[in-house]
Amino acid sequence: MGIKTKIQMLPGLARFAGALLIAGTLAACSPLGMFARDNVEPLVPAEQLYASAVANMDNNRFNAAIEDLEKLEKQHPFSEVNERGKVMLTFANFRQGRFPDAVRAADRYLALYPNGAEADYVLFLKGSSYYRQIADITRDQELAAEAIDTFALLESRFPNSRYVAESRQMVLVARDQVAGKEMSVGRYYLGNRNYTAAINRFRTVVEDHQTSTHVEEALYRLIEGYLALGLVGEAQTAGAVLGTNYPNSDWYQRGFTLLQNQGLAPQMMTGNWMST
């Protein structure tokens, strides 16, 4: 009876297997199945992708080079040519004005190759990408601060790098932008008689951005703010610092006049942050 039962079940099993076969065939022929097969990206040898990227770079086809290099990263993350490929990807994105993409590509390189042969160049490209995005002083200066920090890291890690000199010039401009933003906010507070907040902004310019073009005005605005608060000694000291460092400045002449109208004169007073 057991043998007979097994024999009787065989046709059912055959029908079940046939149904599975038909279902598999239908799935393969369905639009969804065809899409799944067609969507599989063909694997291209790393050397071929790299050679194609180099050729595209040489012919200024940077978008095509970016496609090759992104595919290289994705398909061959451990290839010997991937380190150089990441440098090229950072540059290609920078060259095309895709600055956020250049920053991300630089970060990927630096995470994998912090002491790589071209780490200084990648840091330079990253800082330059931030620098090229700096907006006017009426907007937030976070990108300028990022550029300053990145170039500072470049100089501290690679002081003998040939990219340091150029980065220093960009740091000067970036610092001027940050200082300009501080001045803009400080003037706003000063105009609204929020003198303490204004003084804090002008003090930041004087202390942290001494190479900027805004220091002269910041010292004059400190005279205004301190006089408004009745802090005569601080106002006189700001005038003295302004006169010592910028004796021919129009801002000093204005500051001198402002103090003179109060019966005061520029004088270095001890015991405040400007006299130390």
Q: According to the model, what pLDDT value does residue 270 have? A: 83
pTM of the model: 0.73
Q: Tens digits of per-residue pLDDT, 163-198?
A: 999 999 999 999 998 999 999 999 999 999 999 999
Return the higher-pLDDT residue of 141 and 105: 105
Mean pLDDT of 20-48: 58
**274 pLDDT band (50/70/90 cuts)?**
confident
Higher pLDDT, 255 or 43: 255
Position 136 scores a pLDDT of 58
pLDDT at res. 2: 42
Q: What percent of the chain has pLDDT over 70?
A: 83
Q: Is the pLDDT of residue 118 over 50?
A: yes
The pLDDT assigned to 271 comes to: 81
Q: What is the spatial distance between Cα 159 and Cα 169, in angstroms, rounded to a whole number?
A: 15
Section 42-58 average pLDDT: 90
Q: At what angle do helices 119-131 and 164-191 cross, to 10 degrees?
A: 30
- pLDDT, tens only, 122-165: 999 999 999 999 875 556 678 999 999 999 999 999 999 999 99
- Report residue 113 as tokens: 């190759």
Q: What is the pLDDT of residues 3-21, one digit of tens each?
A: 333 334 434 434 433 443 4
**CA-CA distance, 58 to 92, in Å (whole number)?**
11
Which tens digit of pLDDT belongs to each residue from 206-245?
Answer: 999 988 999 999 999 999 999 999 999 999 999 999 999 9
Q: What's the mean per-residue pLDDT of the chain? A: 86
